[in-house]
């Protein structure tokens, strides 16, 4: 007898449909799995046998052949267990095969017959919906997560026995608990009203948040770079439903999702010893890197100059394109990586302001070179942190995150209206054509940009960067037109590198 069932295997943050076929035939009792299974998939035979027997089903003592189609794709991991078991039950007529029509399953089995959760349930549900399945059966723990995807009925089963009851129509699972949207209170992110002084960094943070710009903070160790960076997610607009689903999908693939829809933008702060593939993703079965985990959120790189050169180089393409392309062997995957970069470093190796700098010229040069190459094109603004912020303490209680967020949200709304239908959300994402269309300069501002500073003429790229930043500054002020002062301020945040001493 022959039976088949569909399941889904993770590929990056997407899933690929795999059809599991089982053939039961009189003969010597052997159980063969073909279709490029890896060791974990072959072990499934033992789990399936034990789970079936321990659940009170019969394990047919006949010649069993399972095929995982398409046969040319390598199959990895334990998520084929459930499909194998279900196909076997159907093939041995312990389960009516006709009831499995238009139904996909995914899950890992324990020897006792319980269903264990798998990673990437959201991606599986998205894949099943796209492939036209009407029902998806997953382990109970994955049900809430998978149910976030509309347009497909998600059923959670705690065990193999229950699953058979479910398919046979003898049992109905409780509806997956979709937790209500939590009130977006602020308690999970620290508040900006705890940061005294730092007026330059606060303003830069606000502009960065308002336009989605990448920010570099300059300041000595202990000045509060990390403190400020951690407060950025709290002034960003909450993720839209689509963004939240993207965040959940990525986190569910990486196994760090809590099984519910992400309410907050992620904040990732990898240590500077991270490897290039840890940062952008990779491995023989490619896994998402930190920049993908920070998708639709914030990637914070403290002590930027300490990161390895290959790691920084690897960041360039994702920061530019918003996606990571990982190619391993025959497979090429695309991970989402639309993230805001907040970086922090010192002005020079000793960390003092340049007027007190005691660094050797050669050291300083090496330090600047290290940063200039990979980053010069990716940083939209640079700000300074005060080593001694008590200078400004006298000016009263600092503004709270809520007040700043209100302005950021207003600026973001202007941008959403501007980019309706353009497929982007924020000023920082404008390409040259959109910049040209949406940033019209008055004559005096035009003259300022063309005044031709012989020391550091603006490249076409940094010219556009200044325009995008000026657009955001005007948006924060609620003005439809960009003014000269906006351009001046944008120029003031431009990242300049000191005169290279050689080459």
Under the binding rule (CB under 8 A), the answer on residue 493 touching another protein is yes
The verdict on 330 binding another protein (CB under 8 A) reads no
The residues, ordered by sequence, that sit 6+ positions from 475 with a Cβ below 8 Å of its Cβ are 210, 211, 411, 414, 415, 427
Dig out the tokens for 156 from the structure. Answer: 């959670």
Stretch near another protein under the rule CB under 8 A, chosen from 125-133, 229-237, 349-357, 423-431? 349-357
Binder of another protein out of 195, 345, 411, 426 (CB under 8 A): 345
Least separation in angstroms between residue 450's CB and another protein is 10
Q: Which of 385, 426, 439, 441 binds another protein (CB under 8 A)?
A: 385
**Alpha-carbon distance 373 to 410, whole Å?**
35
Whether the CB-CB separation of 270 and 311 falls below 8 Å is answered with no
62 binds another protein (CB under 8 A): no
Whichever of 30 and 500 has its CB closer to another protein, that residue is 500
Q: How far is the CB of 489 from another protein (least distance, A)?
A: 4
Residue 5: how many CA atoms within 13 Å on its side-chain side? 30
| 380 contacts another protein (rule: CB under 8 A) | no
- Quick check: 413 and 246 in contact, CB under 8 A? no
CB of 454 vs another protein, minimal distance in Å: 6
Residues near 411 by Cβ (< 8 Å), separated by ≥ 6?
Answer: 210, 211, 472, 475, 476, 478
Q: Indicate whether 339 belongs to the interface with another protein (CB under 8 A).
A: no
**Angle (CA) 208 210 213, round 5°:** 35
Residue with tokens 């005044």: 451
| 389 is a contact residue toward another protein (CB under 8 A) | yes
Q: How many CA atoms lie within 13 A of 311 on its CB side?
A: 19
Place of tokens 């000023």: 427
- Using CB under 8 A as the binding rule, whether residue 158 contacts another protein is answered as no
What is the three-class DSSP state of 3?
strand
Q: How far is the CB of 293 from another protein (least distance, A)?
A: 27
Q: Are 322 and 428 in contact (CB under 8 A)?
A: no
Least distance CB 493 / another protein (angstroms): 6
The interface region with another protein, picked from 168-176, 321-329, 435-443, 447-455 by CB under 8 A, is 447-455
Q: Of 354-373, which residues contact another protein (CB under 8 A)?
A: 354-357, 360-362, 364, 368, 371
Q: What is the DSSP letter of 440?
A: P
CA distance 40 to 42: 5
**C-beta closer to another protein: residue 197 or 276:** 197
- The torsion angles phi and psi of 494, rounded to 5 degrees, stand at -65, 140
Site for another protein in 458-477 (CB under 8 A): 473
Other beta carbons less than 10 A from residue 339's beta carbon: 25
Q: Which of 28, 39, 460, 499 touches another protein (CB under 8 A)? A: 499
Binding mask 212-251 for another protein (x = CB under 8 A): ----x-x---------------------------------
CA distances to 273, 299, 351, 386 from 222, rounded to whole Å, are 20, 20, 11, 10
Q: How far apart are CA 388 and CA 391, in angstroms?
A: 6
- Per CB under 8 A, the list member of 321, 453, 461, 479 interacting with another protein is 453
Query: Judged by CB, which is closer to another protein: 102, or 388?
Result: 388
Select 172 or 454, whichever has its Cβ closest to another protein: 454
* E strands, 153-222, in order: 153-157, 215-218
Which residue carries 């809590």 as its tokens?
Answer: 258
Stretch that binds another protein, among 35-43, 63-71, 75-83, 388-396 (CB under 8 A): 388-396
Nearer to another protein, 89 or 495 (CB): 495
Q: Which two tokens stand for residue 150?
A: 């509309």
Q: Verify binding: residue 446, another protein, rule CB under 8 A.
A: no
3-state secondary structure of 344: strand
For residue 398, the minimal CB distance to another protein (Å) is 13
Give the angle 371-377-379 at the CA atoms, nearest 5°: 75
Q: Is 210 in the site for another protein (CB under 8 A)?
A: no
Q: Using CB under 8 A, which of the segments 104-112, 259-267, 379-387, 412-420 binds another protein?
A: 379-387
Stretch that binds another protein, among 114-122, 130-138, 142-150, 347-355 (CB under 8 A): 347-355
The reply on whether position 498 binds another protein by CB under 8 A is: yes
Which residue, among 36, 261, 230, has the nearest Cα to 146 in the 3D structure? 261
* Residue 70, preceding peptide bond in cis (omega within 30° of 0): yes
d(CA 67, CA 344): 52
Tokens of 434: 């959109």
- Of the candidates 51, 152, 195, 490, which one interacts with another protein according to CB under 8 A? 490
Q: Among 77, 173, 190, 353, which residue sits at the site for another protein (rule: CB under 8 A)?
A: 353
H or E, element range at 345:
strand 340-345
Member of 417, 420, 443, 503 binding another protein (CB under 8 A) = 503
Chain residues binding another protein by CB under 8 A are 197-200, 202-203, 216, 218, 345, 347-348, 353-357, 360-362, 364, 368, 371, 382-386, 389, 391-392, 448-449, 451, 453-456, 473, 485, 487-499, 501-503
């Amino acid at each position: 007898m022959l039976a088949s069932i569909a399941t889904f295997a993770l590929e990056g943050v997407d899933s690929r449909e795999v059809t599991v076929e089982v053939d039961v035939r009189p003969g010597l009792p052997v159980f063969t799995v073909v279709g490029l299974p890896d060791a974990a998939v072959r072990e499934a035979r033992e789990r399936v046998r034990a789970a079936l027997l321990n659940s009170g089903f019969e394990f047919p003592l006949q010649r069993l052949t399972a095929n995982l189609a398409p046969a040319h794709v390598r199959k990895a991991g334990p998520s084929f267990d459930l499909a194998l078991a279900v196909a076997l039950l159907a093939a041995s007529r312990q389960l009516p095969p006709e009831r499995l029509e238009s139904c996909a399953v995914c899950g890992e089995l324990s020897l006792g017959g319980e269903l264990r959760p798998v990673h990437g349930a959201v991606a599986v549900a998205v894949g099943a919906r796209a492939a036209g399945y009407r029902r998806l059966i997953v382990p109970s723990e994955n049900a809430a997560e998978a149910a976030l995807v509309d347009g497909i009925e998600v059923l959670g089963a705690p065990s193999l026995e229950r699953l058979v009851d479910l398919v046979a129509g003898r049992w109905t699972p409780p509806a997956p608990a979709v937790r209500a949207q939590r009130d977006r209170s602020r308690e999970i992110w620290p508040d900006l009203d705890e940061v005294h002084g730092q007026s330059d960094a606060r303003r830069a943070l606000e502009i960065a948040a308002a336009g989605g710009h990448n920010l570099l903070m300059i300041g000595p160790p202990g000045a509060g770079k990390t403190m400020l960076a951690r407060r950025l997610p709290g002034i960003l607009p909450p993720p839209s439903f689509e963004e939240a689903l993207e965040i959940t999908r990525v986190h569910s693939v990486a196994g760090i999702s809590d099984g519910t829809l992400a309410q907050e933008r992620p904040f990732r702060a990898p240590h500077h010893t991270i490897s290039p593939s840890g940062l952008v993703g990779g491995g023989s079965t490619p896994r998402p890197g930190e920049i993908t985990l920070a998708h639709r959120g914030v990637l914070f790189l403290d002590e930027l100059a300490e990161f390895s050169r290959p790691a920084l180089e690897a960041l360039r393409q994702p920061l530019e394109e918003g996606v990571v392309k990982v190619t391993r062997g025959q497979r090429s995957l695309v991970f989402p990586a639309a993230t805001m970069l907040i970086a922090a470093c010192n002005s020079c190796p000793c960390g003092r302001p340049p007027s007190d700098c005691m660094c050797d010229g050669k050291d300083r040069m090496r330090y600047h070179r290290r940063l200039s190459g990979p980053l010069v094109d990716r940083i939209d603004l640079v700000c300074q942190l005060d080593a001694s912020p008590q200078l400004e303490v006298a000016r009263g209680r600092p503004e709270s995150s809520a007040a700043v967020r209100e302005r950021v949200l207003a600026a973001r709304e202007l941008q959403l209206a501007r980019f309706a239908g353009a497929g982007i959300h924020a000023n920082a994402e404008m390409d040259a054509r959109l910049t040209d269309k949406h940033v019209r300069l008055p004559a005096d501002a035009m003259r300022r940009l063309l005044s031709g500073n012989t020391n550091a003429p603006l490249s076409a790229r940094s010219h556009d960067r200044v325009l995008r930043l000026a657009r955001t500054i005007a948006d924060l002020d609620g003005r439809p037109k960009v003014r000269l002062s906006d351009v001046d301020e944008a120029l003031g945040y431009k990242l300049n590198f000191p005169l290279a001493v050689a080459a």
